[in-house]
Each structure stands twice: as structure tokens, then as C-alpha cells.
């Protein structure tokens, strides 16, 4: 990044201080460009890592939710079987309980 209007000495050359500053500016520009590339590469790499972790977490959550659904389904079927057994053992009590629950539901819906 040389300046548009360098300051020439009487012999047409740049003063040594100006030439040295221009070299330092060019060096700093190159270092800044390298730093920018490095930061971009790091960001892309980190994004890939986070994306992979997110995929792993999604797979783990899907597996756990599937397992939880299986357990819930199994417990529901067990409870359903237990209720069915009790109703068969005491049909009149089950009928009375069902009537009572129906009556209470009707009262609540009426309000």
C-alpha cells in the first residue's frame, strides 16, 4: 500500500524513513491478510465441529425419545391389562366407578 504522493528528496528518491515505513506497512498488510485467512479457517473448522456435534446430539435425542416411547407404550399396555383384569374381577364396582366419573364429568362440563 504505497502512498499516492510519496515525498521525494531533492534527488528524486524517498527519504529512508518513508521507505522504511512503507515496507513496514506492506509487512503489516501481509500479516493482517494472513491473520484474516487464519481466523476464517478457524471459524470454518469450528463450524464443522459444532455441526458434527449437533448431528450427534440429534441422533442421541432421537434414540432416547424412541426408547422412552417404547417404555411408555409398554407401561400403558401393562396398565391397560391391569385395569381390564380388575374390571373382569369386579364388574359391578367398575360400572359404579364409571357411572360416578361420568356424573362428575357431566357436572364439570355443565359449568
Residues 21-31: tens digit of each pLDDT: 999 999 999 99
The percent of residues in the chain predicted with pLDDT above 90, rounded, is 77
Q: Which residues, at least 6 apart from 86, have a Cβ–Cβ distance to it below 8 Å?
A: 94
* Measured distance CA(2)–CA(109) in Å, rounded: 85
**What is the residue range of 65's domain?**
16-110
60 within domain boundaries: yes
For cell 534527488, name the residue: 11
75 in a domain, yes or no? yes
Residue 23 is predicted with a pLDDT of 92
Dump pLDDT digits (tens) for 46-63: 999 999 999 999 999 999
4 φ, ψ (degrees, to nearest 5): -70, -40
pTM, two decimals, is 0.48
Number of domains into which the chain is organized? 1
Residue 4 lies in a domain: no
Residue 46 domain-assigned (yes or no):
yes
Rounded Cα distance between 22 and 32, Å, is 15
Give domain status of residue 7, yes or no: no
Which residue did the predictor score with more confidence, 93 or 13? 93
Residue 8 belongs to some domain of the structure: no
Amino acid at each position: 500500500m504505497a502512498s499516492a504522493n510519496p515525498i521525494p528528496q531533492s534527488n528524486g528518491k524517498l527519504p529512508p524513513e518513508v521507505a522504511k515505513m512503507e515496507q513496514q506497512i506492506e509487512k503489516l498488510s501481509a500479516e493482517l491478510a494472513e491473520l484474516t485467512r487464519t481466523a476464517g479457517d478457524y471459524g470454518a473448522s469450528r463450524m464443522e465441529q459444532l455441526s458434527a456435534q449437533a448431528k450427534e446430539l440429534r441422533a442421541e435425542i432421537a434414540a432416547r425419545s424412541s426408547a422412552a416411547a417404547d417404555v411408555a407404550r409398554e407401561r400403558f399396555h401393562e396398565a391397560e391389562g391391569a385395569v381390564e383384569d380388575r374390571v373382569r374381577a369386579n364388574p359391578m364396582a367398575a360400572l359404579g366407578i364409571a357411572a360416578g366419573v361420568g356424573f362428575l364429568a357431566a357436572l364439570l362440563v355443565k359449568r
